Structure 1
């Protein structure tokens, strides 16, 4: 009787894990986009150029003319100048386009500060617009503008 219970418990555990994995894949587009926004913020605060670059679309442009190479160089310089980078999202509104599938826009007020040591020595508030494209369930930052 004991081996039957073990087999039954094993199958129950496998079934539960399979249901949990299946449930993880059913995130809404909103949830996936919010996770991508968190990844972007976390990558900047961790001073990880690679993590931020993973969020950028292969055809990324900032202000209509600055590309992925510019983004990499700018982040590398910023991360070398600042031991700490803080991103504070003051307000944010994201809208997934109801007409064009796989497109979304995020508008936000963001405070970006950097510090060589413990006290921030630079801080600025930006109004940013992020245009997103979804490819195979993965949101990527396609266009970025700021004031």
Structure 2
């Protein structure tokens, strides 16, 4: 279960919406799931998603990039390097970035997988309330090579 906070209305709504949109790709990247040990494809996928989450929580844009496939594609032509730059900009703008994920659904078929979930994403300067927050419906695509899962695609739709 997750908690969604309201956007601080003291800043212009467009600015808050833009900030939420810039952080939207982070929702695609993050799942608040514990890593599972073992060797099944789904367990390895969960572990890869946890590594991505750890990279974001550590505010490490290069480590975020490392979890994306070379041919990663996001909305509006976002590529792997663009995602790294977007992560770096978000980390500069927000001291704290958080996500709460609900109802993840895994579909693994051979070396490909899809994970869909709802995510609440926010960021701020360490205050009790976030400066920006949004709820998203997220769909991610993954590919496994040599036992490692990498995200190959992400799309998200704001729910509020």
Quickly name the TM-score band, shorter chain normalised: 0.7 to 0.9
Q: Is the Cα contact below 8 Å between 2:61 and 2:85 reproduced in 1?
A: no
Q: Which runs of 5+ in 1 are unaligned?
A: 1-24
Q: Compare CA radii of gyration and give the structure with the larger one.
A: 1
Whether the 8 Å contact between 1:41 and 1:87 is mirrored in structure 2 is no
The equivalent residue for 1:46 is 58
Once structures 1 and 2 are overlaid, which stretch shifts more, 120-129 or 43-52? 43-52
Consecutive unaligned residues of structure 2, counting only runs of 5 or more, are 1-36
Q: Name which structure has the greater RCO, CA cutoff 8 Å, separation 6+.
A: 2
Distance 1:45 1:121 in 2: 17
Aligned partner of 2:40 among 20, 25, 28: 28
Query: Which of 105, 111, 117 is residue 120 of structure 2 equivalent to?
Result: 111
Two-structure CA RMSD over aligned residues (Å): 1.5
1:91–1:110 contact (8 Å) kept in structure 2: no
The structure in which a higher percent of residues are helix is: 1
Tell me what 1:75 maps to: 87
Question: In structure 1, what is the equivalent of residue 140 of structure 2?
Answer: 130
CA contact (8 A) 1:64 1:143 kept: no
Q: Given the superposition, is the C-alpha separation of residues 64 and 139 from structure 1 closer, same or farther in structure 2, using an over 3 Å criterion?
A: farther
Deviations 1:44-71 (CA, angstroms, capped at 9, x unpaired): 2221112211110010010261111210
Q: How many residues align?
A: 120
Q: Which stretches of structure 1, 4 residues or more, deviate above 4 A after TM superposition?
A: none
Q: Find the counterpart in structure 2 of residue 9 from structure 1.
A: none
